[in-house]
Amino acid sequence: MEAFKIIGGQPLKGEVKAAGAKNAITKMLVASLLSDKRCIFSNVPDISEVETTVNLCKEIGMEVAWDREAGTIEVVTKEIKSSYIPMHFSGANRIPILTMGALLGRTRENIIVPTVGGCKIGKRPVDFHIMALEALGATVEDRMIKKDRAYFAHAPDGLKGTRIKLPYPSVMATENAILAACRAKGKTVIENGAMEPEVIDLILFLQKLGAVIHVDVNRKIYIEEAKHFYEVEHSVITDRIEAASFGMAAISTKGRVFVKGAKQEHMITFLNKLRRINGGFSVKSDGIEFYHQGPLKGGLHLETDVHPGFLTDWQQPFVILLTQASGSSVVHETVYENRFGYIKTLKEMGADVELFTQCLGGRPCRFGAQNYEHSLIVKGPTPFVGKEIEVPDLRAGFAYVMAALLAPEPSTLTGLRYLDRGYENLETKLQSLGANIERVGIPATEEALISV
């Protein structure tokens, strides 16, 4: 097992380049399965989530040439060799469910995919996915394969365009519906669709690929059947989550970091919240510089929401920022019901945070009457102390890294597989900014002690 050894107390200073967006490239790799044309992607992050997705697509028949150093992937799926996604991909990430939308219009065979995985931050029901695919003419069943659950999907009569209204603007349900609609006969309208930058990047890729697709007002997406497909070259958008993560780490440690590639238009809501707590930033032509410009001010009310609201993946490191701000602030999580599982460890490190089941926000949310601890009050500023930590999920993991960078005592973080899913060469980038962090192997005896 590997671990991060971190000794904090030093400001982060320098320049770092944000990688391509995990939540964009993984979806576009699956989307390329729609056609037999060659696709070349640039600005591809070298992270385990991409590697898992590549391995999954290879099972289907994709040929892949990945230059990790150059950040490019060239793919082509000349034929579908298998529409069965092996069960060992169950729990690896959430990507397998998207293969249903991509393959339904390309094969009449049963598409068999394992159940949804990813970080343990709350329920991720596939009801919206199934509703959308069935509206387009697919049959989807939940079955058992030996001791494992799997989804069986097929469209023996082909897919037909229709009108789909999603009950909630789920990102992946929107993407699944879009992929299926690209090969459905006629026209499809998706109402209440997700509008995240990563979804828009997927739409831009699909238009290059041959789809007739556009976005209208009120979260409506229009898709017509793709008659012809074309070879594509596409540069993946910058990861706005990684960019914000480094920005928050810089400000919390009282440093100054230029994040090359950070896009203002993808981070407007986040930047507004930074300004309200006196977090410094300056937008440049090729990125954003983040800096500590004085004491951070609390008194903030923050609610996560779908885009263009405050991204739920920014929430955990932002709570770390708020622990360093004077006064009390309120955070209301409306996207995932169990996203505050990391708070217990933060309190042990010194954070003054209290959780609530009530909606401490400007509006009630779907978790309000379900007894989930989905609101909190954080008070600051508070110092942190070092601790041995088991990382539970990707974004909580970066929050723990930030907390460790604030603690003058040593911290040990295990469970790095979660961080490796979404952050490219994290320790190397932090080292370049002056952080005292190293990746080390943990002997079995020490590993057992940490897990106790």
Pairing of strands 212-216, 232-235: unpaired
Question: What is the predicted pLDDT for the residue at 145?
Answer: 82
Enclosing H/E stretch for 95: none
Could you give all domains of the chain from N- to C-terminal order, each with its CATH number?
A: 2-19+238-448 (3.65.10.10), 22-222 (3.65.10.10)
Give pLDDT tens digits for 28-47.
999 999 999 999 999 999 99
C-alpha to C-alpha distance for 247 and 257, rounded to whole angstroms: 7
Two tokens, residue 156: 């023996």
User: 249 and 405 in contact (C-beta within 8 Å)?
Assistant: yes
Two tokens, residue 219: 């979260």
Give pLDDT tens digits for 341-383.
999 999 999 999 999 999 997 778 888 888 999 999 999 999 9
User: 6 and 411 in contact (C-beta within 8 Å)?
Assistant: yes
Question: What is the predicted pLDDT for the residue at 123?
Answer: 47
Question: What is the predicted pLDDT for the residue at 116?
Answer: 64
Give pLDDT tens digits for 64-80.
999 999 999 999 999 99
C-alpha to C-alpha distance for 145 and 149, rounded to whole angstroms: 6
| Rounded average pLDDT over 184-203 | 98
Picking from 10, 12, 8, the residue whose alpha carbon sits closest to that of residue 251 is 12
| Rounded average pLDDT over 239-267 | 98
Q: How far is CA 5 from CA 140, 406, 440, 452, in A?
A: 46, 13, 7, 18
| Rounded average pLDDT over 333-344 | 93
Question: What is the predicted pLDDT for the residue at 94?
Answer: 81
DSSP state string for 171-205 = HHHHHHHHHHHTTSBSEEEEES----HHHHHHHHH
DSSP code at position 32: G
Give pLDDT tens digits for 279-319.
999 999 999 999 999 999 999 999 999 999 999 999 999 99
Whether pLDDT at 388 is above 70: yes
* Helix, strand, coil share of the chain (percent; to 5): 35, 30, 40
Whether pLDDT at 173 is above 70: yes
Q: Strand pairing partners for 84?
A: 112
Two tokens, residue 8: 């904090």
Q: In this predicted model, which residue has the larger pLDDT, 69 or 149?
A: 69
The position carrying tokens 């995990």 is 22
C-alpha to C-alpha distance for 362 and 229, rounded to whole angstroms: 46
Give pLDDT tens digits for 118-134.
444 344 468 999 999 99
The answer to whether 335 is annotated as binding is: yes
For residue 216, with 0-12 CB atoms within 10 Å meaning exposed, 13-18 middle and 19 or more buried, which class applies?
exposed
The answer to whether 94 is annotated as binding is: yes
Give pLDDT tens digits for 180-189.
999 999 999 9
Two tokens, residue 5: 């050894």
Q: In this predicted model, which residue has the larger pLDDT, 362 or 24?
A: 24
Q: Which residues have a catalytic role annotated?
A: 119
C-alpha to C-alpha distance for 286 and 272, rounded to whole angstroms: 20
> Percent of the chain, pLDDT > 90?
86
**Average pLDDT across the chain, whole number:** 93
Whether pLDDT at 451 is above 60: no
Residue 115: pLDDT band with limits 50, 70, 90: confident
Whether pLDDT at 195 is above 70: yes
Question: What is the predicted pLDDT for the residue at 118?
Answer: 43
| Rounded average pLDDT over 82-90 | 87
Q: Which spans in 354-425 are helix H?
A: 394-406, 416-422
C-alpha to C-alpha distance for 284 and 199, rounded to whole angstroms: 25
| Rounded average pLDDT over 314-327 | 98
User: 89 and 96 in contact (C-beta within 8 Å)?
Assistant: yes
C-alpha R_g of the chain: 22
Tell me phi and psi for residue 282, to 5 degrees.
-140, 120
Residue 139: pLDDT band with limits 50, 70, 90: very high
Picking from 425, 433, 391, the residue whose alpha carbon sits closest to that of residue 411 is 391
The answer to whether 78 is annotated as binding is: no
